Amino acid sequence: MGGHPEVLHLIRIKCTTFLYLIAFSVPRPPSMRMRSVSRASLDNLIGFKKRGENSLGRMLQHRSVRRFHDSFSALSGSSGTEAVYLSAIQAICKYSSKAPDELVDLLSKAPESKITDILQGFVNAMVEQGKAPKTVQAYLSAVNGFLEVNDVEVPPLRRRVRKPRVYVRSADRAPTIDELRTVCVNADPETRALLLFLLSSGCRIGEALMVERGDFDLREGTHVVKIRPETAKDRIGRLTFVTGEAFGAIEAYLKTHESSRVFPLSRPRAYHKLTIAFARTVTIRTTAGRKDVHPHSLRKFFFTTALRVLGREMAEALIGHKQYLDQAYRRLTVDEMATLYRRLEPSLTLFGQVSPARARNSQVVAKSDEVEHLISMGYEFEALLPNGRSILRAPTSPERRQEEPPSISGNVTHQAKWNDG
């Protein structure tokens, strides 16, 4: 049955509302009665709740905030920056018990000493709330920009407002190759493809989620990924690469959806899926409210690995640090960069070729009919892969270390082929 999409949408809303009201009007025994539903929940079900309500988006209703937002959104375009800046304005309004426009009107007529007192009090309040020093400085910088854009003469903060000293509250770490193997084996196809993409490309999560199917290319057997300027954090486009193993997982995942984006996920959803995948399989320590292993640790894994294999300039360029992009891209062609990445690829491959030297103290991936023989030689079973192969850890006893690892035909593939169907 054809029809205008908007008309059909309204019909669905009315039908849903009608059924919902009938369900709650029919008397039920006490054991079957449902809890009362708030008006907000009903609005959300019917479809009246709009994006931005009950969130930072409400701040944009104020003229002064819109003016500030317009001053940085076109240049930055980063949703993360937007969230931090709007959170800062929300925080100082809560501290001062003033709406944004009221705060601007108050401070535009106030002497410098009054402005300094309010800003210093705001900083002190955030420190008492346990905000990290970097967060305090970011909020203060955002508030300063907000006031200046709205023509409030702010005194020099460096001399007038005392800020907390920045120090490391917690130390995160790059996950080990064994931890990544375990996470990958236990992940669903979507999470696995995203994890392998991030750890082998060094991309930020926001950049990865904006990659489209047409952004992949193949150069001399190396898979190239184009990070477009409009999706990069610093608005500088670049090329990066993924391993053949990662590309195989991505190819399998792309068959499950038809979106032009490789990963049609929201940022919170992607972050949540990776966080859960780590939490289920990796021992995570929490210090000062921060986990030592989290989704951003995949970028750290890539950087530390690339730093060791390729050196700082190339490692920094591949992960998109702008001060190194010009140096590397001006000096090297795409084919030359692909050649360098091929040197790095074995170190980023989780289930790829294991050299004899590493096999003694590492893991091997074996076919099902080879597992029993390997276990009889001292190998320990660790996990079963989705494609039916098994991960085994090589024996670590002194006598076993002196032996050559067994020659297993086809026990390891250069590109992991996931078969979850």
Give the whole-angstrom CA distance, residue 360 versus residue 336: 33
d(CA 261, CA 270): 13
Q: What is the DSSP string of 353-368?
A: PPPHHHHTTSEEEE-G
Q: What is the pLDDT of residue 34?
A: 40
Question: For 32, phi and psi rounded to 5 degrees?
Answer: -110, 0
- Residue-by-residue DSSP string for 371-388: HHHHHHTT-EEEEE-TTS
Domain coordinates in residue numbering, the chain = 5-46, 56-160, 177-348, 351-421
- Collapse the DSSP code of 161 into the 3-class scheme (helix H, G, I; strand E, B; otherwise coil) and give the result: coil
pLDDT of residue 384: 72
**Cα-Cα-Cα-Cα dihedral sign, residues 17, 19, 20, 26:** positive
* Sign of torsion over alpha carbons 267, 273, 274, 278: positive
Predicted confidence (pLDDT) per residue in 196-221, tens digit: 999 999 999 999 999 999 999 988 78
- The fold of 177-348 is hpI Integrase; Chain A (1.10.443)
Do the Cβ atoms of 64 and 58 come closer than 8 Å? no
Residue 318, both tokens: 């591949």
Say how many C-beta atoms besides its own lie within 10 A of residue 43's C-beta. 13
Measured from the Cβ of residue 135, the count of other Cβ atoms closer than 10 Å reads: 17
Q: Which amino acid is at 320?
A: G
Q: Nearest 5°: phi and psi at 290? A: -120, 140
What is the mean pLDDT, run by run of 10 residues, along the chain of 421 residues?
A: 54 55 48 43 38 61 89 68 87 92 92 88 88 85 91 74 60 86 90 96 93 91 91 82 93 94 92 92 78 89 92 88 68 86 92 43 66 74 71 59 36 40 39
Identity of residue 420: D
Tokens matching residue 15 = 């039908």
Q: What is the pLDDT of residue 415?
A: 39
DSSP state of 154: -
- Beta strands, E only, 220-330: 222-227, 238-242, 286-287, 290-291
What is the predicted pLDDT for the residue at 190? 95
* pTM of the complete model: 0.60
pLDDT value, residue 198: 96
CB atoms within 10 A of CB 196: 29
Residue 196's pLDDT is 96
| Tokens of residue 298, six digits | 């995949």
In this structure, the chain runs to a length of: 421
Dihedral sign for Cα atoms in the order 108, 114, 118, 123: positive
pLDDT in tens, 28-50: 444 444 444 444 443 443 333 34
Tokens encoding 57: 């988006």
**284 by DSSP, 3-state: which?**
coil
